């Protein structure tokens, strides 16, 4: 079963609530009127990964004097980062302890940037409350947590399990829930505001040349070791190209079509019931209301005060099992799936104890409903490193709906690889050292061997059909 290539981002897209307060400086922004003919480093994509890569290049003295151009197909941060669930939540027991540790470190790095720069992005430290709605799903989580206690007790201490009905009530979870896990170290935020804050700073400080509404249609390698990136506005050549294209990667790298697969997800910003109060956590719902256990629903809540438009919106995403339209292999986010959208409007009244005036309310009113494109990785790990056989072409993406607690430090890792190799280090030796220091999980490294190994697994579509858990916790 062959996965088709992703298409380029659609020129128009559904309206994300996160774009309701756009960064005026960045709208339609082009640092220079003309597209430069060449640059030392070109980054394709201006979401969390591309922006983080640009930021770490700007902060690294090895990159001083290098010209950096960031190309974006649409407006700045208009892809997955500007359309996601607003979570920055490490998953502590779903994958290896090495990954859990990296995600905790990643959330800490984002938190520290937000605090040091006073970024107005509604950052809120919360516990991640993941609720389980079937005995089978709960048992699986307990088994994974037991395993974590054995191999990494220092990480397991961040996770507790509760099945006590009174305790669940404190977390505002409906009484028919089987149980929940509570993970420390999570946060919620307005992702677009964080990323556009960083981008604007990079542009105004003169570190990058940002070119929005400039889709890359094709990349050609040349014999002189330079890549030519073609756009409708002309071409730009560079020795070093970093693809921060996540779900859209195979539009430019066709041989990655079966390794990073676009998946359309549904999101909503819902008005809470009248006179409701703030929920204490961020939430994930596993196998709720007959949904398949292999894709979670996810929820954060915006503040009721102290911010522009403080309506306590419930930012709720998922509902993939209730959708009417195909979503795997789909890179078009200009369409809303009404089945999934209707599920999202109704589900929270059943799975949580929302307070306020709920009597007779069958569904919550949506302030906004939209879709976004995730990049599902065939082996459930991001791909970070040099593309085999393509000298100077680097990739960082494939987060399987889980980019916020990964993208920042993955962006840093790819920059360390690019600059390390540029200064004469052996990439294999450098990568090993980075793994030892905890700068990147070994399972994220992009190698020929890993590609071959991933191709021996079921395809992303087959895994989904067979109920293999792909962690869609945005």
What's the number of CA atoms in the CB half-sphere (13 Å) around residue 334? 9
> What is the pLDDT, as a whole number, of residue 467?
82
Overall average pLDDT of the 437-447 stretch: 98
The DSSP-derived string for 151-202 is H-HHHHTTEEEE--HHHHHHTTB-TT--EEEEEEEEEE--HHHHHHHHHHHH
**Mean pLDDT score of the chain:** 95
The DSSP-derived string for 49-80 is HHHHHHHHHHH-GGGTT--EEEE-SSSTT-SG
| Helix-helix angle 407-422:97-116, to 10 degrees | 90
Taking a C-beta distance cutoff of 8 angstroms, is the pair 405, 89 a contact?
A: yes
> What is the pLDDT, as a whole number, of residue 474?
38
> What is the pLDDT, as a whole number, of residue 2?
63
What's the CA gap between 361 and 401, in Å, rounded?
Answer: 31
- 63-84: per-residue pLDDT in tens? 999 999 999 999 999 999 999 9
pTM, 2 dp: 0.97
At residue 472, does pLDDT exceed 50? no
Question: Higher pLDDT residue, 136 or 468?
Answer: 136
| Eight-class DSSP state of 269 | E
> What is the pLDDT, as a whole number, of residue 295?
79
Residue 470: band (very low, low, confident or very high) from pLDDT cuts 50, 70, 90: low
| Eight-class DSSP state of 355 | -
At residue 222, does pLDDT exceed 90? no
> What is the pLDDT, as a whole number, of residue 469?
63
CATH classification number, 17-82+192-260+379-465, choose in 3.50.50.60, 3.40.50.150, 3.30.110.30, 3.40.1170.60: 3.50.50.60
At residue 57, does pLDDT exceed 90? yes
Looking at the DSSP bridge assignments, the partners of residue 241 are 42, 393
At residue 189, does pLDDT exceed 60? yes
Residue 473: band (very low, low, confident or very high) from pLDDT cuts 50, 70, 90: very low
Sequence spans of domains, the chain: 17-82+192-260+379-465, 124-187+264-372
Overall average pLDDT of the 380-395 stretch: 96
Percent of the chain with pLDDT over 70: 98
| Eight-class DSSP state of 15 | -
> What is the pLDDT, as a whole number, of residue 457?
96
Question: Higher pLDDT residue, 474 or 453?
Answer: 453
Overall average pLDDT of the 235-252 stretch: 98
- 369-384: per-residue pLDDT in tens? 999 999 999 999 999 9
Percent of the chain with pLDDT over 90: 94
What's the CA gap between 192 and 117, in Å, rounded?
Answer: 16
- Residue 441 main-chain phi, psi, to 5 deg: -65, 145
Give the CATH fold of the 124-187+264-372 domain: D-Amino Acid Oxidase; Chain A, domain 2 (3.30.9)
Taking a C-beta distance cutoff of 8 angstroms, is the pair 145, 181 a contact?
A: yes
Residues in CB range of 179: below 8 A, 6 or more apart: 131, 132, 138, 161, 162, 163, 168
Could you give the residue ranges of the DSSP H alpha helices within 172-323? 191-204, 249-252
Residues in CB range of 399: below 8 A, 6 or more apart: 246, 374, 375, 377, 382, 406, 407
At residue 158, does pLDDT exceed 50? yes
| Eight-class DSSP state of 328 | B
């Amino acid at each position: 079963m062959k996965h088709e290539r992703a298409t380029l981002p659609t020129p128009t897209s559904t309206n994300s609530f996160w774009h309701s307060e756009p960064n005026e400086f960045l709208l339609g922004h082009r640092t220079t009127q003309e597209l430069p003919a060449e640059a030392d480093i070109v980054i394709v994509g201006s979401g969390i990964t591309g922006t983080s890569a640009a930021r770490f290049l700007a902060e690294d003295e090895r990159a001083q004097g290098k010209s950096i151009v960031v190309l974006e197909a649409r407006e700045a941060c208009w892809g997955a980062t500007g359309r996601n669930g607003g979570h920055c939540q490490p998953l502590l027991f779903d994958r290896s302890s090495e990954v859990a540790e990296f995600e905790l470190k990643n959330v800490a790095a984002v938190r520290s940037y937000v605090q040091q720069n006073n970024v107005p992005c509604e950052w809120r430290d919360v516990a991640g409350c993941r609720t389980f709605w079937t005995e089978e799903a709960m048992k699986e989580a307990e088994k994974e947590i037991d395993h974590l206690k054995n191999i990494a007790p220092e990480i397991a201490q961040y996770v507790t399990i509760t099945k006590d009905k009174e305790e669940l009530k404190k977390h505002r979870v409906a009484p028919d829930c089987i149980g929940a896990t509570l993970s420390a170290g999570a946060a919620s935020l307005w992702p677009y505001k964080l990323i556009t804050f960083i981008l604007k700073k990079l542009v105004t400080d003169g570190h990058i040349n940002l070119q929005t509404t400039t889709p890359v249609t094709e990349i050609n390698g040349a014999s002189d070791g330079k890549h030519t990136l073609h756009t409708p506005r002309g071409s730009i050549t560079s020795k070093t190209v970093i693809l921060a294209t996540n779900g859209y990667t195979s539009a430019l790298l066709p041989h990655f079509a079966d390794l990073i697969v676009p998946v359309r997800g549904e999101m909503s910003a819902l008005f809470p019931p009248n006179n409701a109060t703030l929920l204490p956590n961020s939430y994930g719902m596993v196998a709720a209301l007959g949904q398949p256990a292999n894709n979670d629903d996810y929820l954060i809540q915006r503040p009721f005060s102290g911010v522009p438009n403080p309506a306590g919106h419930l930012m709720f995403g998922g509902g993939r099992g209730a959708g009417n339209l195909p979503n795997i292999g789909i890179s078009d986010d200009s369409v809303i799936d009404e089945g999934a959208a209707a599920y999202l409007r109704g589900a929270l009244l059943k799975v949580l104890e929302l307070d306020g005036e709920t009597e007779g309310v069958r569904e919550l009113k949506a302030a906004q409903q939209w879709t976004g494109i995730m990049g599902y990785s065939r082996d459930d790990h991001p791909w970070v490193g040099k593309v085999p056989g393509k000298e100077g072409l680097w990739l960082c993406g494939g987060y399987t709906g889980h980019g916020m607690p990964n993208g920042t430090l993955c962006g840093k890792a790819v920059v360390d690889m690019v600059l390390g190799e540029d200064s004469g280090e052996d990439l294999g030796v450098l990568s090993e050292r980075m793994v030892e220091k905890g700068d990147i999980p070994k399972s994220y490294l992009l190698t020929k061997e890993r590609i071959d190994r991933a191709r021996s697994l079921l395809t992303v579509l087959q895994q989904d059909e067979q109920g293999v858990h792909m962690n869609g916790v945005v």
